[in-house]
Amino acid sequence: MLINTVLLFIKDIFPIFVLLSFIVGATSNLRLTKMDLSFYAGGTIISVLLIYTQIENIGELFDGDGIEVFYCLLNSTVYMSLLAITPLLSNKSALKAVLRYLLIMAITLFTAANLSEFFIYLSAMVSSNQTFIGMFIGGFFGLGICLSFSILLTIFLRSSLASISCLKHFLWVLYLAGFATQNVYLLQQIDVVSTSNTLWDISNFVADASEYGYLLNTLIGYKAAPTAEYVVSYFASVVITLMVIILSAKKLNRINTPIVRNEK
């Protein structure tokens, strides 16, 4: 029971902490007002209640594929928002108001979706007459893992080492690639994307359903047995994110380069 509770926290709560850590740590000039934080907190509470109470109705949409479609739209919105703020990794300019509100909305929906899934599984565990002590201890360890890892990740991303060695950009690229590929398996479940054979299988080393599997999947999109569609979408996202970083860096260099005029 203790292990199941820890895994539940790592599976559903840990991605929220990692997302917030990347946004806060990688984009140091992103300033959020009290109104932004109030919108995030209030919107999360309302969204959790709506998703939790209406999850069955959502699942009945699109001929029974409503949940998969909902998560695909959610993941796409969050991914596009994160891709839009990618230039902030090296650019000190402020984020435009439209993009800031889009980012807050995406984070709010992502947090609400994960919390709703967490509460659904948690209520199922409670109804199965699991021991409260085991759940409490497991929740304590699970929340501790999420908090400690997110704090360390934020500190590292804000450190000079991450900026000088470009590790911040490297981790950001892999994180976005892993985020982009979440839709692949969702679309395969509803037969929108064809499913090919797995290219390799390293489940004996790190299984997807293990603690390390969940951690690596959240950070870099790890899959023990990926399909060809997954690998293609992963590297496509890597290329797109790198192009955004390179183009924004070139634009920043042109702005900062002084114009030298020849005097006769």
At 45-67, the pLDDT tens digits run: 998 898 888 888 888 888 888 88
**pLDDT tens string 145-183:** 889 999 998 888 887 766 665 788 888 899 999 988 888
pLDDT computed for residue 261 by the predictor: 52
Query: Is pLDDT of 230 > 80?
Result: yes
**Which of the residue ranges 20-24, 30-34, 100-104, 190-194 would you say has the lowest mean pLDDT?**
30-34
pLDDT band of residue 28 (cuts 50, 70, 90) is low
- Give dist(CA 118, CA 16) in Å, integer: 11
Residue 17's pLDDT band, with cuts at 50, 70 and 90, is very high
The domain segmentation of the chain, as residue ranges, is 2-256
Dihedrals phi, psi of 177, to nearest 5 degrees: -65, -45
Picking from 102, 110, 111, the residue whose alpha carbon sits closest to that of residue 81 is 102
Least confident of 109-123, 161-175, 231-245: 161-175
Total count of residues recorded for the chain: 264
What average pLDDT is seen over the chain? 81
Output the pLDDT for position 240: 92
8 Å CB contact between 165 and 30: no
pLDDT at 264 over 50: no
Q: What is the DSSP string of 57-111?
A: HHHTHHHHTHHHHHHHHHHHHHHHHHHHTGGGGT--SPPPHHHHHHHHHHHHHHH
Q: Please tell me the least confidently modeled range out of 57-66, 111-120, 190-199, 237-246.
A: 190-199
Does residue 235 have a pLDDT over 90?
yes
**Closest of 99, 118, 89 to residue 4, by C-alpha:** 118
pTM beyond 0.75? yes
Handedness of CA 20, 23, 25, 30 (dihedral sign): negative
Q: Are 149 and 14 in contact, with CB atoms under 8 Å apart? A: yes
Does 260 score more than 50 pLDDT?
no
Residue 193, Cβ density class (10 Å: 0-12 exposed, 13-18 middle, ≥19 buried):
middle
d(C-alpha 146, C-alpha 143), whole Å: 5
pLDDT at 236: 93
The DSSP H or E segment spanning 172 is helix 167-180
Check if the beta carbon of residue 25 is closer than 8 Å to that of residue 157: yes
Closest to 229 (Cα-Cα) out of 201, 194, 203: 194
Residues pairing with 227 in the sheet: 198
